[in-house]
Amino acid sequence: MDVVGAPEVAQVLGVSRQRVYQLIDTYDDFPAPLATLAVGRVWSRAAIEEWNRRHDDRPTGRHRRFRPDAGGS
């Protein structure tokens, strides 16, 4: 079994670590951690990947900022 911490969960989901914790608080069906270690909570990679497949339409939490110098008016 492949076990992952929050940084790896963030990488799998394509979000920041902070967003991982927001997703945990927002989605009742977010996988429960396997354990809480000294380094923090750890999850099954397979459970995270399966959850990600089921929630493929969720917002990632990464928004583009308006940049006046980006060529827009």
pLDDT in tens, 16-45: 999 999 999 999 999 999 999 999 999 999
What's the predicted TM-score (pTM) here?
A: 0.76
Give bridge partners of residue 37 from the DSSP assignment.
40
Mean pLDDT rounded to a whole number for the chain: 87
> What's the CA gap between 31 and 23, in Å, rounded?
10
Q: Any long-range contacts for 42-45 (C-beta under 8 Å, 24+ apart)?
A: 42/3, 42/4, 42/5, 43/3, 43/4, 43/5, 43/9, 44/1, 44/2, 44/3, 44/4, 45/2, 45/3, 45/4, 45/8, 45/12
Domain 3-59: top CATH class: mainly alpha
